[in-house]
Amino acid sequence: MTSPSDPVEGLNGNGLAGRYYGRGIPYLPIEDYPGKLIAIEGTDGVGRTIQIQLLREWLEVKGYGVVETGWTRSPLMQPTIEIAKSSNTLNKLTFVLLYATDFADRLEKEIIPALKAGFVVLSDRYIFTALARAGVRGVDRQWLRNVYGFAIAPHLVFYLNVDVKTLIGRVLESRGMDFWESGMDLKHGDDIYDSFRAYQLKLLREYQSMADEFHFRVVDARRSIDRIQDELRRQVASFLEPAEKPAETALTR
Amino acid sequence: MTFSLLHATDFADRLLYKIVPPLKAGMIVLADRYAYTAFARDATRGVDRQWVRELYSFAVRPDLALYFRVPIDVSVDRLMARRVKLKFYEAGMDLGWSTNPLESFRMFQGKVLDEYDQLVQEFGLEVVDAKGSITEQQRYVRTLIAQKVKMSQLEMIDDEPV
């Protein structure tokens, strides 16, 4: 159905931090917004949420305003997504589009206003999760990258990297394996363990394939929570504060 | 954006459950509105035109697309004659162009019509003059469809031995 005109500038690794990747949202210009967008990516059960919680506390103590946003957490879409997941009517296309709608809602109503007001936005997962999940499910990659052309390139993307063996151990110790996180919709078989392993392996490969292109800062997530947090803080601090030190010395002179 | 994506999601669901299966079975599918509605409406709301087209690239290109064209005045007169209450989004009230629903409707739908006019060329929509009587319109539509669908060539439903 595409008309034979210019190709769309979709998502790619050339996006400038804090700007739209592609054509963006024409009615919402975002140039020169003071806020910073930091995305924490990583597969299910890798420990993103706890890291964000700790990062938030630390940033707030340092005096930053922090806003958190997370996948499928938009008030508009969360109930719909839950209903759709619990019924058997979702196919890969509607699945992808529901996620995109949720993301668009959070972008317009949470992320952009917060960036405008100078907040640090911590995003628990970002569009790379959508790309990875859709990639595993065989959705057309170029199409999806065009759809997500309205996304903003984050200032930092941390990717919590883990091997599938460590991941399985962690997930089983905490909450157990879940239908969707095991990719049971892909019908690899009835065994949830085998399905989880196969699905997560594919997901990890998808994330890995995006790491260079989208400048992921890869963090070894097999380590303890504190060690990971230390590394995140070091990197966030050197991104947010390099300009502040010279300014202080200038004042004391 | 969310408006656009929600409609695309709904469309994808209907495409896969209601449109593609009957097409595979060799049936004729009549769609009341199609992706062109989204192209016109979303562009009017300020969404990037090319982005919406790309978003809907999973849609099946129709064998025939009819566009019933009326001037905005006729459209408003017809709606008012039935004393319908203008719907919030149909009147583009979300855009905040006017607090008066009728005025907002005129402004919004007027722009939507401009967008449709561009689509006629781009996608080769067949324009039906919808100012005329229902009978005239229907006769014209039937000739258009007859050109596309050779009734004699339609497969019988039970063409396979039982």
Structural domains of chain A, with CATH: 36-162+217-240 (3.40.50.300)
Q: Is residue B91 part of a domain?
A: yes
In the predicted model, is pLDDT for residue A246 greater than 50? no
Q: Give the C-alpha separation, B82 to B102, whole Å.
A: 14
B46 shares contact with chain A (CB less than 8 Å): yes
Q: Is residue B160 part of a domain?
A: no
In the predicted model, is pLDDT for residue A244 greater than 60? no
Query: What is the percent of chain A with per-residue pLDDT over 70, rounded to a whole number?
Result: 90
Q: Give the C-alpha separation, A192 to A37, whole Å.
A: 36
pLDDT at A81: 77
State the average pLDDT over residues B129-155: 86
Q: Give the C-alpha separation, A92 to A119, whole Å.
A: 34
Q: Is residue B145 part of a domain?
A: yes
**Cβ contact, residue pair A8, B61, below 8 Å:** no
| DSSP codes, A187-222 | -S-S-HHHHHHHHHHHHHHHHHHHHTTTT-EEEETT
B157 CB neighbour count, 10 Å cutoff = 9
In the predicted model, is pLDDT for residue A2 greater than 70? no
Total tally of structural domains belonging to chain B: 1
Segment among A79-83, A219-223, B63-67, B84-88 with least mean pLDDT: A79-83
For the record, the structure tokens of B119 come out as: 């689509």
- Mean pLDDT computed over every residue of chain A: 88
Token pair 């719907």: residue: B87
pLDDT at B9: 94
| CATH code for position B135 | 3.40.50.300
Q: Is residue B29 part of a domain?
A: yes
Q: Is residue B158 part of a domain?
A: no
CB-based contacts of B79: which residues, under 8 Å, 6+ apart?
B86, B105
Q: Is residue B157 part of a domain?
A: no
State the average pLDDT over residues B149-161: 62
B60 shares contact with chain A (CB less than 8 Å): yes
Domain that holds residue B146: 2-152
B143 φ, ψ (degrees, to nearest 5): -65, -40
Regarding an ipTM greater than 0.90, the answer is no
Q: How confident is the model at residue A3 (pLDDT cuts 50, 70, 90)?
A: very low
Q: Is residue B162 part of a domain?
A: no
A25 shares contact with chain B (CB less than 8 Å): yes
pLDDT at B112: 95
A185 shares contact with chain B (CB less than 8 Å): no
> By C-alpha distance, which of A204, A202, A203, A184 is closest to A193?
A184
**Cβ contact, residue pair B58, A149, below 8 Å:** no
Pick the more confident residue, A81 or B71.
B71
The residue in chain A having the minimum alpha-carbon distance to the alpha carbon of residue B36 is A1
Q: Is residue B124 part of a domain?
A: yes
pLDDT tens-digit series, residues B90-116: 899 999 999 998 999 999 999 999 999
pLDDT at A119: 97
pLDDT tens-digit series, residues A21-54: 988 999 999 988 999 999 999 998 899 999 999 9
pLDDT tens-digit series, residues A158-174: 999 999 999 999 888 88
Question: What are the distances in angstroms from CA A129 to CA A44, A178, A204, B150?
Answer: 10, 17, 10, 48
Whether the model pTM is above 0.90: no
**Cβ contact, residue pair A94, B56, below 8 Å:** no
